[in-house]
Structure 1
């Protein structure tokens, strides 16, 4: 890698090359230029025209091919926004070129592939980060601060629910959600499990059950509306997670439920309960119930990056490179979450509990009002 760029104040700036200019890239490219420790310098896609059109909208960025981006002197980190099946391949190519890597979830299609990516990054001495970074916002971080302050006493249990009748109702090409590697757990589970690990620590054992309510689904919108396709994965997964500290989390991930008024996440302790907002977002209201108050009361913002959006995990990684500390949306955390999901599906298949062989550090809390380029 070449020497990192400097801004006018002499601050180190991490130069980012983006691979995969699909739909999610727009969310990142809306955020990254606003973060003072990042600069997007290159954009690559298998579709050269799409890469060029995307780069034209980003000041200072140029369009290139993935191969040239990996070897570019003005790229310090590769932002991997390709499809999940390509996550490991792109990460290996970037690591081999000596680049840091931050990718969309999942870290890889399987834990076996993810272990190889982790090992390659470790050998190369580069940083590996992975979405979701929604847990760095004020929603989950305020709940984390409340837990750490002992507001509900010692955590005993938690619940996490994500229910929908299925993405085929709105997505014009939803088949991949119902093929191996898809399903409600692998699609949405990373948001909920990353939040649970951030709040309660890593998971050491799981039990679970799963089902598929019907063998086919029908596309409900777009030019292929009315097309029927097969379901190849479980569409309803429920399980219990035993955290390293002893708390038990009940998880429900479903593409089979029309509607529900279940809370997104709640945490229950010896002295009260905590309502946590949707972990698919960065903010939201946190509410507290204790025996002393005997009603739900709002918790003021007590932690998290304010106004965070997709890409703050990249900026947090850049901060860690400057300070020498750990970055929060780490490859190790993403690997553990993937391992928990695979273990839960294995438990549902076998009908017995499954030990989660991996672990990770509970990420450090984000102080209230912090900016990733300032701490």
Structure 2
């Protein structure tokens, strides 16, 4: 197999999941990892048997074709721009950028250089979400008419070792968790055309209860409870709620409604989970997952798909157009809240091609 050289910039909390998952994809050849905190990079390198290097060394290495950008959100575009300047394709952790304007500038720079950009989440490529898409495409719901998307918790300061960035510009529940839900909904229903929304920040400070910063007070600079409605080009209307202010709830993560039935879609922060289908007049019944990548955490499958796409010359699925569209939608909720009006979405994106076959044996779905 003609492997693709990978350089990873950013060795924070999420990097472990990427490094573990990359072992599942033979096409990925990790050439090194880097972080501004060089000691953290050395620790992560030792843990996973890879090489710690500087950012400049990774960018100068001609054997590296894709830079995987796992920095904090406010650094995503700056790091990705450096990768493009170095002639590398780049794949960023979500969101693509902290606002639509900088995300668009990144997409324009990539097009000008003839390079690819991609971004998480790639969980929509998981077996349960691809199976849910297959069910919808088969017509079991009839005409899709609506749905709900719900993520609500008390806040990430309960568990994350360094949670302050979740409450800085570029954070908040919509930009942090919204990408999983909205990306999966685009996978299931197609692109969004209009958005309406409301947003509040009930608290101006948060108390960290996780280690090692337990007891520290951090300021809140973003809305932490966002509710809205998305109108899809297909005609479906989906309600969404994203919150760091809710003690508990009973909503499932994703439901899709159609004229002939309802589909319960598993948590889009994961690759697997139980799908349930209700036929009109019946009751909910579990559905068998028929697509690969539902049995673990494959957080880097989007990178692997990009690598295969580079080698075969096809589009990659977790692509820049999709990530930019989702970023515009997420920002539109806050814009709608500020203006008190409905916001038209300007970007266009295609539903990514279905992933019906395994990537690790070279059998690529086209």
| Same structural fold, with TM-score higher than 0.5 when normalized by the shorter chain | yes
Quick one: which of 12, 27, 35 aligns to 1:22? 12
State how far apart, in whole Å, the 2-side matches of 1:91 and 1:171 are: 25
After superposition, the Cα gap between the structure-2 partners of 1:334 and 1:53, relative to the gap in structure 1 and judged at 3 Å, is same
Equivalence map 1:157-168=2 (5 Å): 157-168=146-157
TM-score after normalising by structure 2: 0.94
Q: Deviations over 1:244-275 (max 9, x none)?
A: 11100100011121111101000000100000
Q: Tell me the equivalent position of 2:341.
A: 352
How far off is 1:228 after superposition?
A: 3.2
Q: Secondary structure at the match of 1:242?
A: strand
Q: Tell me the equivalent position of 1:326.
A: 315
Q: Tell me the equivalent position of 1:121.
A: 110
Report if the CA contact (8 A) 2:147-2:239 is conserved.
yes
Quick one: which of 280, 288, 292 aligns to 1:300? 288
TM-score after normalising by structure 1: 0.92
Equivalence map 1:81-230=2 (5 Å): 81-230=70-219
State how far apart, in whole Å, the 2-side matches of 1:372 and 1:160 are: 34
Q: Does 1:31 align with 2:54?
A: no
How far off is 1:368 after superposition?
A: 5.2
Quick one: which of 227, 232, 240 aligns to 1:251? 240
Report if the CA contact (8 A) 1:145-1:303 is conserved.
no
Equivalence map 1:36-115=2 (5 Å): 36-59=26-49, 61-115=50-104
Q: Secondary structure at the match of 2:104?
A: helix
Q: Tell me the equivalent position of 1:3.
A: none
Report if the CA contact (8 A) 2:153-2:243 is conserved.
yes
Q: Deviations over 1:224-258 (max 9, x none)?
A: 43333332222111000000111001000111211
After superposition, the Cα gap between the structure-2 partners of 1:43 and 1:227, relative to the gap in structure 1 and judged at 3 Å, is closer
After superposition, the Cα gap between the structure-2 partners of 1:153 and 1:234, relative to the gap in structure 1 and judged at 3 Å, is same
- Which 5+ residue runs of structure 1 have no aligned equivalent? 1-10
How far off is 1:163 after superposition?
A: 0.8
Quick one: which of 319, 330, 334 aligns to 1:341? 330
How far off is 1:174 after superposition?
A: 2.7
Report if the CA contact (8 A) 1:305-1:371 is conserved.
no
Report if the CA contact (8 A) 1:78-1:101 is conserved.
yes
Q: Tell me the equivalent position of 1:6.
A: none
How far off is 1:110 after superposition?
A: 1.6
Q: Which runs of 4+ in 1 moved over 6 A?
A: none
Report if the CA contact (8 A) 2:25-2:359 is conserved.
no
State how far apart, in whole Å, the 2-side matches of 1:353 and 1:160 are: 19
After superposition, the Cα gap between the structure-2 partners of 1:153 and 1:295, relative to the gap in structure 1 and judged at 3 Å, is same
- Which 5+ residue runs of structure 2 have no aligned equivalent? none
State how far apart, in whole Å, the 2-side matches of 1:371 and 1:156 are: 36
State how far apart, in whole Å, the 1-side matches of 2:11 and 2:214 are: 26
Q: Tell me the equivalent position of 1:5.
A: none
State how far apart, in whole Å, the 1-side matches of 2:223 and 2:134 are: 35
How far off is 1:34 after superposition?
A: 2.6
After superposition, the Cα gap between the structure-2 partners of 1:124 and 1:22, relative to the gap in structure 1 and judged at 3 Å, is same
State how far apart, in whole Å, the 2-side matches of 1:97 and 1:359 are: 28
Cα RMSD, aligned residues only: 1.7
